[in-house]
Structure 1
Amino acid sequence: MTTPATPPRSLGELRRLTPARVALGRAGASLPTDALLDFTLAHARARDAVHAGFDADAIAGGLEALGLPTLQVASRAADRRDYLARPDLGRQLDPAARELLAGAPKGNDVVLVIGDGLSPVAVAAQALDVARHLLARLAAARIGIGAAVVASGARVALGDEIGAALGARMVVVLIGERPGLSAPASLGAYLTFGPRPGLTDADRNCVSNVHGAGMSADEAAHKIAWLVREGLARQATGVALKDESGDPVPVLPPP
């Protein structure tokens, strides 16, 4: 007996499965007006996310309300133009920040850094919620965060210098990801064991796509907490630490 062939799925079904722009149709040699306007709006939102202001005081106040002593620092990028044109400056602390961290308490197991990155909008929308869930999950694992740092003009690698300056065993960086045309406000988390300047992305683990239509704050916190616990135990992150946090996400009481 011959098994009937599975009928091919329609493009309409594909469009329901993904926010990607597929099967948009055409009007003559161009896109339909609705599709063109939607693309233009998404592009404008992505540009606005990159150039949005970063309210470091509000983020620091939120972290203090969660019980975390918080410092504010800046990179060597003098303004947003500098930040976009010179990525290297966003990876280095400015002299005032180095002096501030030099006088801060040392020897933390974990330092939490929240930086604006390429989407300050994502940080404003997601970072404190992720931090709140993360603190609850780390407390359940008996892991404390010794300090928090809010960094302006930050690239991911700025966390390496911050972690080294504070003598941390591990740094967790929550930062705005490069906006896409379907997700202008996506947050990423980067974890590095033994942070120090000069490390590469091969030395980090990443939990990405934290936003309203992507990974939830609690799911991200679950994965980050697992990576923190295992990274400290194995003394490694990056290619040496595979994310095996599993699914489903365990439910904890509301933090």
Structure 2
Amino acid sequence: MSDQNRPIVTGNVWSALRRYTDARIGLGRAGISLPTSELLKFQLAHAQARDAVHLPLDVNRLTAELSQLSVGDKPLVPEVIHSQAEDRFTYLQRPDLGRRLAESSRSRLQALSQADDSKSDLAIIIVDGLSSSAVQSNVVPFLEQFLADLEAEPRPWQLAPVTVVQQGRVAIGDEIGGLLKAGMALVLVGERPGLSSPDSLGIYLTFGPESGLTDARRNCISNVRPAGLAFAHASQRLLYLIREADRLKLSGVGLKDRTEEVVIDNSSKHQNFLTD
């Protein structure tokens, strides 16, 4: 083939695998570099990831949407609280401050707990984390699915007041769950954005929450979003963990998620392209 007829962009034989993953594979090349279109897509993904970290959570919009949900016959009215990180810059520079409640928020939860001395099974804690877009886009539709599934459970689950935490990290849920006298803390948090997933929601479950616990005491379900783990599937996995945590009286490394123990078998109706 003459140089005049040679295509500008050389394709990649691995490009057929791109339909199975959002990972950047089989991008082709233009000379010794990437095609312009792929370079522009990368720059857009990088900008979206940065925006997810720095864009503040629209708390008013989120609380208004949450108020449209209900627990039984009661509307869900969240309490908005704050970590010790006063602003986003401090939050990113001082992770430790994002793990503890501001004194004013701590006092509010203590007063709330004293007003209702009954213990609850589960405290739902919504945390902006490292991706406000994940929380803004995914928390409400996930909770809509989860609360419906929870209500259909044979045993009634008593919920603590729902909280929305600004400038928070995962571990702040332990302090909140302890203050609300909840048997388990359920943290919905914006995960650190990747270049193909700026809107990934993480779910963390802790049995017997209290300040000072380590990650070994938590179970995690990650990548909850329309392009990742579907809300219905995430809800069923979470319900399994809640039931098992309640039965075994523990969470974390001692509690295994066995919802996906499937043997790869070519004769199975669930085919895997790697084994076809």
Alignment partners' CA distance in 2, 1:38 and 1:99: 47
The structure with the larger Rg is 2
Following superposition, the deviation at residue 53 of structure 1 comes to 1.7
Sequence identity percentage: 47
Alignment partners' CA distance in 2, 1:200 and 1:90: 15
Following superposition, the deviation at residue 247 of structure 1 comes to 8.6
Alignment partners' CA distance in 1, 2:227 and 2:68: 27
Tell me, what secondary structure is at the counterpart of 2:112? coil
1:110–1:145 contact (8 Å) kept in structure 2: yes
Does 2:129 match 1:117?
yes
Equivalent residue, structure 1, for 2:96: 88
Equivalent residue, structure 1, for 2:243: 229
Equivalent residue, structure 2, for 1:159: 173
Following superposition, the deviation at residue 164 of structure 1 comes to 0.8
Task: State which drifts further: 42-51 or 24-33.
Answer: 24-33
Tell me, what secondary structure is at the counterpart of 1:110? strand
Paired residues in the alignment total: 239
Q: Which amino acid aligns with 2:52?
A: A
1:134–1:221 contact (8 Å) kept in structure 2: yes
Alignment partners' CA distance in 1, 2:55 and 2:15: 35
Task: State which drifts further: 56-65 or 189-198.
Answer: 56-65
Following superposition, the deviation at residue 246 of structure 1 comes to 4.6
Equivalent residue, structure 1, for 2:149: 137
1:56–1:151 contact (8 Å) kept in structure 2: no
Does 2:60 match 1:52?
no
2:160–2:180 contact (8 Å) kept in structure 1: no
Give the ranges of 4+ consecutive aligned residues of structure 1 lying more than 4 Å apart after TM superposition: none
Does 2:82 match 1:68?
no
2:52–2:131 contact (8 Å) kept in structure 1: yes
Equivalent residue, structure 1, for 2:45: 42
2:52–2:132 contact (8 Å) kept in structure 1: yes
Does 2:85 match 1:77?
yes
Equivalent residue, structure 1, for 2:192: 178
Alignment partners' CA distance in 2, 1:193 and 1:139: 20
Distance 1:57 1:49, change over 3 A: same
Tell me, what secondary structure is at the counterpart of 2:182? coil
Following superposition, the deviation at residue 216 of structure 1 comes to 1.3
Alignment partners' CA distance in 1, 2:145 and 2:19: 31
Task: State which drifts further: 90-99 or 57-66.
Answer: 57-66
User: Tell me, which stretches of 5 or more residues in structure 1 are unaligned?
Assistant: 1-9, 249-255
Q: Structure 2 residue aligned with 1:14, among 8, 12, 17?
A: 17
Alignment partners' CA distance in 1, 2:251 and 2:149: 19
Tell me, what secondary structure is at the counterpart of 1:103? helix
Q: Which amino acid aligns with 1:227?
A: L
Q: Higher relative CO (CA 8 A, sep ≥ 6), structure 1 or 2?
A: 1
Following superposition, the deviation at residue 16 of structure 1 comes to 2.2
Does 2:199 match 1:189?
no
Tell me, what secondary structure is at the counterpart of 2:67? helix
Please give the per-residue CA displacement for 1:186-241, whole angstroms capped at 9, x wherever unaligned. Answer: 11100000111111111111111111211111211111122112211211111111
Does 2:221 match 1:207?
yes
Task: State which drifts further: 213-222 or 162-171.
Answer: 213-222
Alignment partners' CA distance in 2, 1:55 and 1:91: 21
Alignment partners' CA distance in 2, 1:25 and 1:70: 49
2:83–2:100 contact (8 Å) kept in structure 1: yes
Distance 1:64 1:233, change over 3 A: farther
Please give the per-residue CA displacement for 1:87-127, whole angstroms capped at 9, x wherever unaligned. Answer: 11100000110110010135211000011011110111000
Q: Which amino acid aligns with 1:28?
A: G
TM-score, with structure 1 as normaliser: 0.89
Following superposition, the deviation at residue 179 of structure 1 comes to 0.6
Alignment partners' CA distance in 2, 1:148 and 1:122: 18
1:138–1:144 contact (8 Å) kept in structure 2: no
